[in-house]
Structure 1
Amino acid sequence: MRFEILGSLRITDADEVFTISAPKVECLLAAMLVRAGNVISTDQLCSEIWRDDPPRRATATLHVYISQLRKTLKGPSRAKGPIVTRFPGYVLELGGEHTLDAHDFQRLAQQGRAAARAGRHAEVSALCGQALSLWRGTVLGELRGGDVVDEFATWAEETRLECVELRNEADLALGRHRELVGPLYALVSKHPLIEAFHRQLMLALYRSDRRADALQAFHTVRSALDRELGISPCRQLHELHREILLDSGPALTRAA
């Protein structure tokens, strides 16, 4: 059974893909998957499901939801499901036939970081590309609002952006600057305050013989940072801007 949370929550079992139709039970499963392999207490689960407004018999209702979820995940062909009772709550145990896309994403991201430190650019691009291909949309979008899911979603999004940055750096080092221009314009539009993406765009434009556009990209980020935060671009951006003006400098030709 494959659990997927890098997007809306869904489950793949052999050739069947299905979702949990009951919203509260779906919220319960999301919290348990986020903490897969670790005990999550009944109090935490109740808070995740009902926020600050639990019903009078919240714990009893939670036990009913757990029972329903166990039946759904066990299926007719399994001796037992992945949910185990363990004080002071429950744990969803993965391994064997039960896998989670977020764990694969984390593993690939870690391997991508290691390859980047070793300067293996083609490997970085491939690993980060595999990691990013696991994403299907906003992480658990309809299930946000509880501390457990929100904390995971924040980590996942930050790690996704890190993978995007690492892959871009690797692709620049591999001479793929022309094919990066379009995606980087989209990135700086969506994340106007992430200076690393602006630096990568400037470099990709310059290496694509678009020096004027590279200079304009600097003015765009400078205006955005001043308007939103009252600050100027970082030292790296200023140095790259100076080198592009001079049409000479180490950042323009070295592996990114």
Structure 2
Amino acid sequence: MRFEILGSLRVIDGSRQFTLSAPKIETVLAALLVESGRFVNKDQLIGELWVSNPPRRASATVHVYISQLRKFLVSAGDIEGRAIVTKPAGYLLKTDGAGFDFQDFHEAVRRGHAHHQAAAYEAALAAFERALSLVRGQVLDGFAEGPILNSFAAWVEEESLQCLEMSVEARLALGRHREVIGLLYGLTSEYPLRESFYRQLMLVLYRSERQVEALEVYRTAQRVLRAELGLEPCRALRQLHRAILASDRDLDVLMAS
């Protein structure tokens, strides 16, 4: 059995794929997955299901959802119906032998960083791309509202953005800067407050003999940061801007830290 939560939640058993049509039960399963190996108590589940506005019979409703989830897991491959353990401490999802996309994602990210530190850039790029390929969309299609799932969704987004940054760094180290120009233009538009993407775009444009465009990217970053945050670009961005103005020879081999 394999659980996938980096996007819409689904359970895979061999060639069969199972999804939940009830959002509340899906939320319960997602919370148990994120906290796999630890008990999740009833109050935590109530917080995930209804945040700060639970119904009068919330506790009894959680019990019903757990019962329905057990039936779903049986149909998805938990033949003995023992995947969910119930104790006074709460509920625990037994995951012995199961696969998880978010664990695979975490491991791919770890390998990518290790390869990058060892200057094995091809292997690093492959690992970061593997991690990114596992992210099919927002956790629970963006409907994660409780503290457990909201925090998990924020972690996935931040890790994904770091993967994108590091995959660009790997390509830069391999001299493949031209192929990321379009990607970086899209990323600076989608994440206008993330200065690292501006920095990378300025560098690849300069290395592609497009100095004027690199300087325009800096001016765009400066306008956005002033308008949104009342701040000037960070030190690294300002230093790169000065280096481009001076046509610093070090830019031809500069690796962003």
TM over 0.5, yes or no?
A: yes
Residue 219 of structure 1 corresponds to 219
Distance 1:86 1:119, change over 3 A: farther
Deviation of 1:61 after TM superposition, in Å, equals 2.0
Distance 1:138 1:77, change over 3 A: closer
Moved more, 119-128 or 137-146: 137-146
Residue 170 of structure 1 corresponds to 170
Deviation of 1:150 after TM superposition, in Å, equals 0.3
Pairing 1:126–2:126 present: yes
Supply the RMSD in Å over aligned alpha carbons: 1.6
Q: Is the contact made by 1:7 and 1:138 (CA closer than 8 Å) also made in structure 2?
A: yes
In structure 2, what is the Cα distance between the partners aligned to 1:193 and 1:52?
Answer: 31
Residue 102 of structure 1 corresponds to 102
In structure 2, what is the Cα distance between the partners aligned to 1:184 and 1:47?
Answer: 38
Task: Give the match's secondary structure for 1:236.
Answer: helix
Q: Is the contact made by 1:30 and 1:143 (CA closer than 8 Å) also made in structure 2?
A: no
In structure 2, what is the Cα distance between the partners aligned to 1:215 and 1:61?
Answer: 58
Distance 1:161 1:151, change over 3 A: same
- Correspondence list, 1:11-160, <5 A: 11-75=11-75, 78-96=79-97, 98-160=98-160
Which letter does structure 2 place at the counterpart of 1:15? Answer: S
Residue 233 of structure 1 corresponds to 233
Q: Is the contact made by 1:48 and 1:146 (CA closer than 8 Å) also made in structure 2?
A: yes
Task: Give the match's secondary structure for 2:139.
Answer: coil
In structure 2, what is the Cα distance between the partners aligned to 1:179 and 1:212?
Answer: 19
Identical aligned residues as a percent:
48
Q: Is the contact made by 1:5 and 1:30 (CA closer than 8 Å) also made in structure 2?
A: yes
TM-score (norm 1): 0.94
Cα deviations by residue, 1:134-160 (Å, 9 ceiling, x for unpaired):
011122235321111101111111111
In structure 2, what is the Cα distance between the partners aligned to 1:252 and 1:242?
Answer: 14
Q: Is the contact made by 1:8 and 1:137 (CA closer than 8 Å) also made in structure 2?
A: yes
In structure 2, what is the Cα distance between the partners aligned to 1:58 and 1:214?
Answer: 56
TM-score (norm 2): 0.93
In structure 2, what is the Cα distance between the partners aligned to 1:19 and 1:93?
Answer: 19
